[in-house]
Copies of this chain bind each other. A is one copy, B any other.
Amino acid sequence: MDARITIGQLAKATDTKAVTIRYYESAGLLSPVTRTQGGYRLYTDRERDRLIFIKRARHLGLSLEDVKSLLGLADDENAPCRQVDSIIHEQLERVRSRLKDLQQLERELDRLEQCCQADTVADCKIIESLSR
């Protein structure tokens, strides 16, 4: 336990790119425990778990800012769960709103696609529809 791994090993272990890990560091999400004399970043299981947490949260579509908040809350056992809830809830609302937009878009594109049987742009209903 407490084994130290380099950024490349951490990257492989979590299926992340090393550049992305460095980027998360610059964004204040994940720091190496220490460095070698030559400046190589070193990580432990703790950071690996943290990175997995980050990836799962990102997979939910959360912004890095939200992920940062979640990490802060996760670090404090006494933090009110309500704040976690509200981050998730707001994301759910964003996703639902985006879904509505996309469904509307799908209908429009589908209608457009259906309506054109022409050969040339001169008779193209799609172009016509965009030009009105």
Residues of A within 8 A of B (CB): 49, 52-53, 56-57, 60-61, 70, 73-74, 76-81, 84-85, 88-89, 91-92, 95-96, 98-99, 102-103, 105-106, 108-110, 112-113, 116, 118-124, 126-127, 129-132
B81 and A123 form a contact (CB under 8 A): yes
> How far, in whole Å, are A10 and B74 apart by their CA atoms in the complex?
51
Distance to closest chain B CB from A55 (angstroms): 9
Chain B residue numbers with a CB within 8 Å of A105 are 60-61, 95
Please pick, from B57, B92, B130, the residue contacting A56 in the complex, using a CB distance under 8 A: B130
B113 and A85 form a contact (CB under 8 A): yes
Distance to closest chain B CB from A64 (angstroms): 15
Chain B residue numbers with a CB within 8 Å of A131 are 49, 52-53, 74
> How far, in whole Å, are A7 and B1 apart by their CA atoms in the complex?
66
B81 and A121 form a contact (CB under 8 A): yes
> How far, in whole Å, are A119 and B85 apart by their CA atoms in the complex?
10
A127 and B89 form a contact (CB under 8 A): no
> How far, in whole Å, are A80 and B108 apart by their CA atoms in the complex?
22
Please pick, from B60, B74, B129, the residue contacting A109 in the complex, using a CB distance under 8 A: B60
- Chain B residue nearest to A56 in the complex (CB): B130
Distance to closest chain B CB from A68 (angstroms): 13
